[in-house]
Amino acid sequence: MEDTATGQHPATPGPRTRIRDAAPRQFAAHGFKGATGRCIAHETGVSPGLVQHHFPSRQALRDERGPSAVARIGRARLYLAAERLIHEDLEARVREGLDRYQHPTTDRSSR
């Protein structure tokens, strides 16, 4: 069923929403400075001018996503960094244990 006022299906997001939702994917793929309005327009099926009309700058697009999206990205980066440190620490401990097992010390006076 088509909405007669907009000519769109009610479940179809409008161009502003599609642009807003495509921006993070383009930022992830090309970096914040590398993502262009033309790339975002191509993904969303709108003209670059319409992207510019709704969001005059990349900063405006990022601001539209809100601080919660930026915070989620920051938390994800921290989580991945912590996970990497835990993995590296665990790997070092396992290697150390294997080394002690494979090359036991013969000095028994330290026991």
Parse the chain into domains and list their residue ranges: 15-102
Lowest mean pLDDT segment, chosen from 16-20, 86-90, 105-109: 105-109
The C-alpha atoms of residue 67 and residue 83 are separated, in whole angstroms, by 24
Residue 1's pLDDT is what?
46
Which fold would CATH assign to domain 15-102?
Arc Repressor Mutant, subunit A (1.10.10)
Average pLDDT (5-32) is 81
Per-residue pLDDT at 7: 61
Tens-place pLDDT, residues 21-74: 898 888 888 888 888 999 999 999 999 999 999 999 988 888 877 666 666 777
Helices 15-30, 37-44: inter-axial angle, 10-degree rounding: 120
Any idea which residue has 């244990």 for tokens? 97
pTM check: above 0.75:
no
